[in-house]
Amino acid sequence: MKQLIIAEKPSLAQKITSAIGNMKRVGDFYENDKYIVVSVFGHLLTLWDLDDYLNKEENNKKWELSDLNYFPDKFKYKIKSDTGIKKRYELIKQLIARNDVDTIVNAGDSDREGEVLINIVIYNIFNELRRKKIVTRIWLEEQTEQTIRKELRHQRPIKDTENLYNEGRARMYLDWLYGIYLTRYISINAKTTLPTGRVIIPAVKFIYDRYMEIENFVPTKYYKISCEISAKNGEVITLDFKDMKYDIDKRADAERLEYELKNNPIIVQKVEQKDVTKQPHRLFSLPSLQNYMNKYYKWSLKKTLNVAQVLYDNQYTTYPRTNTEYLAEQEKEKFEELINILSKSELINSYNCNNITLSPHKRLFDSSKVESHSAITITSKLPTSLNEFTDDEKILYRVILNRCLANFCDEKCIVAETKVTFCFKGYDNNYTTSIKGQVIRQMGYLTFENDLQNKSLAPFKEGEQYYCRPKLEQNTTKPPQSVTENELNKFFEKPFKKNINDDETTDEDYQNILNGVEIGTTATRADILEKIKNVGYIQMKKNSLIITDKGIAFINILNKLNINLWAERTAMMSQDLKKVYKNQLTINDVVASAKSEITQILSQHIDVSNEINDAKEIIGECPFCHKPVYENKKGYGCSGYKEGCKFVIWKSICGKNITKADAQDLLNPKKYMTKKKKGFKSKNGKTFDAKLYLADDGSIGFEFN
């Protein structure tokens, strides 16, 4: 008898066949005397739409409020409307039905989506065939041949991942319910399409709230006194006494303190020196990797995930969609082997580390903080040279490699830290401040990832006195900064953390993450961000996320309709999903709760149509005056037309419809359409295919290559 292995992607199917060896290609699958390997390509099945349950005709699918009275008793799946997908589904069905196949192996990605994506195909076909077979699972943290062969030797019963499958389905049903019903309800009431969902709402609200903070910010003027002293080595040092700050109507008090500072000494109150052993930042989770790349390389969340996925698919790094920065304890032997290979690699020669040894440190391993996947690391498949990679792959691989080496490093990182505290005794108050310095005594992990700089201080001694040069300045308070992708990603992962810009994840943070206190998942956040950009609720401006008029209208409508799916409510739903994973709730419990909440929302009759009148979707930025470009009946035009800007991209060019996506392509920094269009017609009536590009003068050109 044979085992049918169903891979999530054709590229993985090829890796599996290579790992097995001696397999023959038969049409669209591979086979030998023991295995058959086939792949899906993404989701073959999708949930029925509401119109499917209501038996609506294709030409009569207008959204009606009365349709929202219906909830399906059971969620059903259908094959996606694509010839290639239908053909692949039928092929898998034929292979499962074969009499010489007794076991089906789920080789989906090692996450909830991979579990659901393959299992729903298997179980849907079982229902159609009215027969079942043994189902097993292989779990590929990395796609090396060694790992694939090991997993095939030690296949897991599908029962072992049943809770993950249940959580994945519960999440899919929740997203369907809130997405379908709220999108239709809001759109019908607003008389325009407003896509929504349980993760979209808190994401837009977070950016909206920051916008409102900035809009409502009232600048305040105040007086601040800074002090300069000259150390004995001649170095000029600025001391920042934070209490030397006065309201704008207290100028006399500020001037009196300035006078005191000119005529009285500042005293060195304390000099503290100690050697400190520094630890490297923990290994990367997907969120921490995305945040790092956004902070230091200005990469979007989506770009980091895409490049990380390529490195994983090519077997150079482990599975990217992980929410932990730790390794499972049972992996220690694997990492001992990896370090042995790495120590002999040419990659190490690029570091000045002749006297440094590597080992898997105990602090890296904590299974209690690993749910489905360990932290992102390199694999034992090492490139002979980083030139094998594209520029982006090279950058990301080096970042992951550096973080691994920093954590494997045996040599201690020792830093001499100095803290000097200064005191000034004023007429009615004592003021203190301090300065800090550090000198690296032993590099340790900094050899691989240097996040510290030497900052030596001038020599000070306790009791020394210095006369300063005070400076009285009038300052103005500044509004908060707009939200960055980095910040939004941290909010997704730790929505209730007070200091959201703190990069370190505490034990309490991990407890919350593992209990589901988060918004969305590591696998979906980048896509959600791109979706709310494309819908037009937010836009990128430099490196910030800015709410649009449409986004403001969206939040106002949610408020008017009493739809409270803010961070607290969405996190509660995520916790319920985690309870499904832990067998504390059933899928039916979660679905029933969602239906009850949605029914309550739908029972309202509130007019919100005026909210959206002035809110238009921003297609992009005008290349001339940099104002927003909006869609109108005949084209995509600049909103600065009243000021004389005449830039427009017409919706019909040479007989071909120019879609909103086409216009967005042309307005991106490259000014090119990503795909060639077919069927343009010249003035002579001849058809031709071409890509469009936006010329410097604002006209549209054709690229035929």
pLDDT for the residue numbered 614: 53
d(CA 532, CA 547): 10
The angle that helices 525-535 and 485-493 make with each other, rounded to 10 degrees, is: 130
Quickly list DSSP for 107-161.
E--SSHHHHHHHHHHHHHHHHHHT---EEEE---SS--HHHHHHHHHTPEEGGGG
pLDDT over 60 (residue 632): yes
- Reported as a pLDDT band with limits 50, 70 and 90, residue 65 is very high
pLDDT over 90 (residue 655): no
What is the per-residue pLDDT across 394-424, written as a single tens digit (0 to 9) for each?
999 999 999 999 999 999 999 999 999 999 9
d(CA 318, CA 381): 11
514 neighbors 369 (Cβ within 8 angstroms): yes
Which tokens in the block code for residue 340? 């042995």
Q: Taking the CA of residue 176 as centre, how many other CA atoms within 13 Å lie in the half-sphere pointing to its CB?
A: 19
What value does the mean pLDDT take over residues 680-697?
Answer: 87
pLDDT over 90 (residue 472): yes
pLDDT over 80 (residue 611): no
Domain ranges of the chain: 2-170, 176-215+484-612, 221-279+413-476, 286-408, 618-703
pLDDT for the residue numbered 640: 84
Q: H or E element: which one contains 587?
A: helix 587-602
206 neighbors 488 (Cβ within 8 angstroms): yes
d(CA 596, CA 602): 10
Which tokens in the block code for residue 453? 């700089």
pLDDT over 70 (residue 613): no
Which tokens in the block code for residue 7? 């891979």
Which tokens in the block code for residue 517? 């206190």
Q: What DSSP state is assigned to residue 178?
A: I
Position of tokens 């009850």? 596
Lowest-pLDDT range of 113-122, 301-310, 469-478, 636-645 = 636-645
Instruction: Beginning with the edge strand found earlier in the chain, give each strand of the sheet holding 648-650 in spatial order.
Output: 618-621, 628-631, 635-638, 648-650
d(CA 75, CA 73): 7
Q: H or E element: which one contains 336?
A: helix 332-343
What is the per-residue pLDDT across 214-270, written as a single tens digit (0 to 9) for each?
999 999 999 999 999 999 999 999 999 999 999 999 999 999 999 999 999 999 999
Strands 101-107 vs 2-7: parallel, antiparallel or unpaired: parallel
Which is higher by pLDDT, 70 or 191? 70
- In 165-220, DSSP assigns E strands to none
- Reported as a pLDDT band with limits 50, 70 and 90, residue 704 is confident
Quickly list DSSP for 253-299.
HHHHHHHHHHHS-EEEEEEEEEEEEE-PPPPB-HHHHHHHHHHHH--
Q: What DSSP state is assigned to residue 240?
A: -
d(CA 499, CA 504): 10
348 neighbors 336 (Cβ within 8 angstroms): no
pLDDT over 90 (residue 280): yes
pLDDT over 60 (residue 615): no
Tell me the average pLDDT of the chain. 92
CATH of 176-215+484-612, one of 3.30.300.30, 3.30.360.10, 1.10.10.10, 1.10.460.10: 1.10.460.10
What is the per-residue pLDDT across 137-168, written as a single tens digit (0 to 9) for each?
999 989 999 999 999 999 999 999 999 999 99
Give CA separation, 311 vs 141, 185, 197, 521, in Å.
Answer: 13, 42, 31, 21
pLDDT for the residue numbered 353: 84
Q: H or E element: which one contains 404?
A: helix 391-408
Instruction: Beginning with the edge strand found earlier in the chain, give each strand of the sheet holding 465-466 in spatial order.
Output: 430-442, 413-425, 266-278, 465-466
Q: What is the b/e burial string over 470-504, where b = at least 16 CB atoms within 10 angstroms of the residue's CB?
A: bebeeeeeeeeebbbbbbbbbbbbbbebeebeeee
456 neighbors 436 (Cβ within 8 angstroms): no
Percent of the chain topping pLDDT 70 = 99
Which tokens in the block code for residue 99? 């009499």
Superfamily holding 286-408 = Topoisomerase I, domain 4 (1.10.290.10)
What is the per-residue pLDDT across 581-592, written as a single tens digit (0 to 9) for each?
999 999 999 999
d(CA 221, CA 307): 47
d(CA 261, CA 356): 51
pLDDT over 90 (residue 606): no
- Reported as a pLDDT band with limits 50, 70 and 90, residue 507 is confident
379: left (phi over 0), alpha (psi -120 to 50) or beta: beta
Helix/strand/coil (H/E/C) assignment for every residue in 448-472:
CCCCCCCECCCCCCCCCEECCEEEE
pLDDT for the residue numbered 641: 81
The CATH class for the domain spanning 2-170 reads alpha beta
CATH of segment(s) 221-279+413-476: 2.70.20.10
> CB pairs under 8 A, 24+ apart, for 75-83?
75/47, 75/48, 75/173, 75/176, 76/47, 76/48, 76/52, 77/45, 77/46, 77/47, 77/48, 77/120, 77/124, 78/45, 78/46, 78/47, 78/48, 78/52, 79/44, 79/45, 80/43, 80/44, 80/45, 80/46
- Reported as a pLDDT band with limits 50, 70 and 90, residue 85 is very high
